[in-house]
Amino acid sequence: MEEGRVKALLDQLRHSQTQQSVPSSVASLLSQLSAAPPTPAQDLQSCSFQQALPHLARLAQDSHFVAAISAMKIHQTDLERRLFDERRGIQKAQQDRVKKAVTKASITGAGTLTHYEANSMADAFRRELVKFDTERALPAWDALISKQQTELESLGVPAMYLTSFTADRERQQRVVQVLAGMTSE
């Protein structure tokens, strides 16, 4: 929601500037916002969310930067889709195992699965999902986050650097949300 307000404000200021009907102070503020000079890397890392906004506005004007962000979004979407498909495959395999067990029970005359069999299958399924999540999904996601932090830092995005500290990551998420709003088509 906040990113939408920032984008709307920037769009409104840009539109107002092109209409030449705004006071020169607003037009000058917009030009300062869009043309703010880059700061050293250390300063960019320590930027607060508010300090990052002018840098983000400037970066969002660069077509090469927008293309790099789009490529990162595509890569992330692909990973999310692969992980979703893999997890869904585990669920499908469980459904098939349950179906086979129920069929076997009906063929042997038992009619249904015993409480023990059902619990054993459910426990095995939960363990398989936890194993997938901890050994496949979370490491893949953490690796993607690290790669994105490094890429965004190299692109000059404020507050971006390799970190696992929660407060830093939350600030980075806010910056990325605004950036995504500014660079979306």
The structural domain count of the chain equals 1
Look up the pTM and report it: 0.70
Q: Which residue bears the tokens 């107002």?
A: 16
Q: Looking at the domain assignment, is residue 12 inside a domain?
A: no
Q: Looking at the domain assignment, is residue 7 inside a domain?
A: no
Give the range of the structural domain holding residue 116, as residue numbers without chain letter. 46-183
pLDDT tens readout for residues 49-102: 888 899 999 999 999 999 999 999 999 999 999 999 999 999 999 999 999 999
* pLDDT, average across residues 157-180: 92
Give just the sign of the alpha carbon dihedral 53, 59, 61, 67. negative
Q: State the Cα–Cα distance between residues 9 and 49, nearest whole angstrom.
A: 16
Q: Is the pLDDT of residue 20 over 60?
A: no
DSSP 135: I
pLDDT tens readout for residues 149-166: 999 999 999 999 999 999
Question: Residue 3: what pLDDT?
Answer: 55
Bigger pLDDT: 32 vs 110: 110
pLDDT tens readout for residues 92-150: 999 999 999 999 888 888 778 889 999 999 999 999 999 999 999 999 999 999 999 99
Q: Looking at the domain assignment, is residue 73 inside a domain?
A: yes
Question: Residue 182: what pLDDT?
Answer: 86
